[in-house]
Amino acid sequence: MIGHDLVYGLATVLAALRLTELVAIDTIFEPVRQWFHRMGFHVLSCVRCISVWAAITATTLYLTFPMVNVVIAIAWVYLFKAELIDALRTPHYPSSVVVLRIRSDRKIEVAYTDLEAHKVLAVVQIASDVLAARSGTHGGVDAT
């Protein structure tokens, strides 16, 4: 069985990560960060700066109340899992791309693009010509 020290040690590292994100990045701390900015202190927006204080806090918790780190670590794991699933579900296309969908009624739909409209129309026209040539018809695909 894994020793408690190893579990609490890992929880301490993950708790430090979560505390860093909480203070330096998360929306809930935005009013506090803005207040510090108005006072001339920009330390709360510095991930490297906050990580030192988060590590000190997590280490202190490890020495006094180690189970608190476990709770904070579970929060980090949950958020990491949610971000990972979101990243895997979101398609990542390179720049200058057009994704076309050909419907069963032979109409072309633009599923995704980051190009200007005139360039998209040119691509759709080329796709229409290619499909027409493959099917032996002339202009048999409508662009929508």
Whole-prediction pTM value?
Answer: 0.59
Q: Which pLDDT does position 142 carry in this prediction?
A: 53
Give the separation between CA 51 and CA 24, rounded to whole angstroms. Answer: 9
83 and 107 co-located in one domain: no
Q: What is the pLDDT of residue 136?
A: 67
In the predicted model, residues of the chain with pLDDT beneath 50 are none
Residue range(s) defining the domain that contains residue 68? 4-89
The pLDDT assigned to 20 comes to: 95
Both 77 and 12 in one domain: the answer is: yes
Tens digits of residue pLDDT in 59-72 = 999 999 999 999 99
**Same domain, yes or no, for 102 and 50?**
no
Q: Are residues 80 and 113 in the same domain?
A: no
Number of domains in the chain: 2
Q: Which of 89, 109, 135 is a domain's end point? A: 89
